[in-house]
Amino acid sequence: MTRFALTVVRHGETRLNKEKIIQGQGIDEPLSETGFKQAAAAGIFLKDVKFTHVFSSDLTRTKQTVHGILEKSKFCKDMTVKYDSRLRERKYGAAEGRPLSELRAMAKAAGEECPAFTPPGGETLDQLKRRGKDFFEFLCQLILKEAGQNEQFSQEAPSSCLESSLAEIFPLGKNCASTFNSDSGTPGLAASVLVVSHGAYIRSLLDYFLTDLKCSFPATLSRSELTSVSPNTGMTVFILNFEKGGKGRPTAQCVCVNLQGHLAGVNKTP
């Protein structure tokens, strides 16, 4: 069995987020002052986590967020970030740069509702989901290939350290190999991956995990929580398990969805 952890973080707040303006892919707005504070808070929260891989959307707001996270890290400060256009926000076409209220009005005029409505020139939910699936399958193959080589993990980031660093701050519970006795046969993590992306993209990825991978989610989560948009720098964590040989789809357990405890006090005005 090969196991790895996937931590997905939404970018920090931008001015247009606050003003409820659709950004999509065409409006490349930087983080606001609050957004930079959120990224720093996320970095402080994750500072002791040992990531082996870091990926980010190639848009400015995600680049700034991942930099803000890594600069607080004890172990990952000098890691190379791999920027991937497959992690970009949903493309909203004609609605980009317009208020969210206008997108909703466009949907109503078409006899549809958000988020199922696709504006002219936009990306459908199915297209978005396929893009997320494509990145996820690429990631799985990368981890399986590196786990097969099995050298770099034993040198710098022992699997037990990867797992214990996550377990310090996330409720891994029964998903954590370190909670099993030594003869349980459950291996430690082969990798711990950080991905920084966008609200609609992360919601689509959750849908893929829920409907396609039949991912198990914490029983305390409601359906509305699973389908809501993550707050800025909200964190979602999965543990993925591949059976020996790495063939077929992995089994997936969700540890938490849109965690935001690190933001306590950050969003409050003085």
**60-70: pLDDT as tens digits:** 999 999 999 99
Task: Please confirm, yes or no, whether 33 is among the known catalytic residues.
Answer: no
Which of 11, 53, 198, 262 is flagged as catalytic? 11
Distance CA(234)–CA(260), nearest Å, equals 5
Tell me the average pLDDT of the chain.
90
Residue 72's domain is classified under what CATH number? 3.40.50.1240
- Within-domain flag for 20: no
Confirm or deny that 12 is annotated as ligand binding.
yes
Give the residue-averaged pLDDT of 159-180. 74
Q: How confident is the model at residue 150 (pLDDT cuts 50, 70, 90)?
A: low
Contacting residues for 100 by C-beta, under 8 A, at least 6 apart = 20, 21, 22
19 is in an annotated binding site: no
Flag whether pLDDT at 268 surpasses 70.
no
Is 63 part of a structural domain of the chain?
yes
Contact call for residues 70 and 82 (beta carbons, < 8 A): no
- pLDDT of res. 244: 75
Q: What is the mean pLDDT of residues 117-123?
A: 97
User: Is 14 strand, coil or helix?
Assistant: strand
Residue 147 covered by a domain: yes
**Which one from 89, 96, 146, 163 is the annotated catalytic residue?**
89
Residue 48 confidence (pLDDT) above 90: yes
What is the number of domains present in the chain? 1
Q: Is residue 92 a known part of a binding site?
A: yes
* Host domain of residue 150: 2-14+31-90+124-263
Active site residue 151: no
User: For the chain, what's the residue count?
Assistant: 270
pLDDT at residue 153 in the model: 46
In a domain, 100, yes or no: no
Is residue 159 a contact partner of residue 131, using CB atoms and an 8 Å limit? no
Which structure tokens are listed for 182?
């030594």
* Rounded-to-integer distance, Cα 174 and Cα 149, Å: 27
- pLDDT score of 175: 54
Q: Is residue 208 part of a domain?
A: yes
Instruction: Please give the helix or strand (H or E) that residue 259 lies within, else none.
Output: strand 251-259
Alpha helix segments (H runs only) across the chain: 15-18, 33-45, 60-70, 100-109, 125-149, 152-155, 159-167, 199-211, 223-227
Amino acid at 17: N
Mean pLDDT of 173-194: 66
Residue 133 has pLDDT above 90, yes or no: yes
14: annotated binding-site residue? yes
Three-state DSSP state, 34: helix
Confidence of residue 179 (pLDDT cuts 50, 70, 90): very low
Per-residue pLDDT of 206-220, as tens digits, reads: 999 999 999 999 988
Annotated binding residue 91: yes
